[in-house]
Amino acid sequence: MRTSNSPALVSEQYGTPVNLQARIALHERFSLNPYDWMLWVLDQIGLGDEACVFEVGCGTGRLWKTNAHRLRPGWDITLSDQSAGMVAQARAALADVTHPFRFEVCPADRIPREDASVDVVIANHMLYHVPDLPAALKEVRRVLKPGGALYAATNGAGHMRELDALYSAFTGQATKLGMSLSFTLENGAALLRPVFPNVSLIPHVDALDVDDAGALADYILSMMGGTQAREPLLTYIQARLAGMAGRMRINKDSGMFVAKA
């Protein structure tokens, strides 16, 4: 099992937005919770009229695209990612949003900001990709102002386990899709507390109800790094869905840690 903080895996998975977009598409189309995840994330942060915000691992910039109608003039927002391809995609996605974003290509353990200069750092489903998490957390703590906070979303052990079971049945051997996460709902608090003594967890409730075999196949393939042919997998999933009255329920297990400086 590949680990989520392997530099080779991160480069393979996120050098371009293709894999991430396949996964986003499944959640956007089939989530049962009608309230968008990105809206929920910003709700938990609760920014005031003035704030300096730094997002690490911004991906395609979807957090700010989704919340474009909620942006306030006093928010100084920087989107960063260690992948130049992701930063370019985020910049393009936000080109028609009038807010003046900043963009940086940098890893999470080398944030180009002065000490105690940032109100909020956002790490939305990305800390499990950081090779040296203690170093990254210390860097986040360095740039946060007193009273500032890190908002770090991640998944738990039960997240989408039905897809693991589906792919395991297809291959005939126990398989966990994609990667073994290094930062989870189960261990996140213990990893954060050496740097942030004040840590809390906000759970998020949701599930998927999927009736499209192609979308499931594309999601699985995005996690497997091109090691699986699509047609046999698609045929298998179509047969499985037919035996489930055409629909598959997939439970999510996600939440957000709030770690205060």
Give me 154's structure tokens: 């991640």
Q: What is the pLDDT of residue 94?
A: 98
Q: How large a percentage of the chain has pLDDT more than 70?
A: 92
4 has pLDDT over 60: no
pLDDT tens digits for 192-239?
Answer: 999 999 999 999 999 999 999 999 999 999 888 666 789 999 999 999
Q: What is the pLDDT of residue 95?
A: 97
Per-residue confidence band for 176, with pLDDT thresholds at 50, 70 and 90: confident
How many Å apart are CA 179 and CA 176, to the nearest integer? Answer: 7
Per-residue confidence band for 16, with pLDDT thresholds at 50, 70 and 90: low
What's this model's pTM, rounded to 2 decimal places? Answer: 0.88
177 has pLDDT over 90: no
The residue to which tokens 């963009």 are assigned: 103
Q: Which amino acid is at 235?
A: T
Per-residue confidence band for 7, with pLDDT thresholds at 50, 70 and 90: low
Mean pLDDT of the chain: 92
150 has pLDDT over 60: yes
The set of long-range contacts for 70-75, using a CB threshold of 8 Å and a minimum separation of 24, is 70/42, 71/97, 71/99, 72/47, 73/99, 74/49, 74/50, 75/47, 75/50, 75/51, 75/99
pLDDT tens digits for 63-84?
Answer: 999 999 999 999 999 999 999 9
Per-residue confidence band for 20, with pLDDT thresholds at 50, 70 and 90: confident
Given a contact cutoff of 8 angstroms between Cβ atoms, the answer to whether 112 and 135 are in contact is no
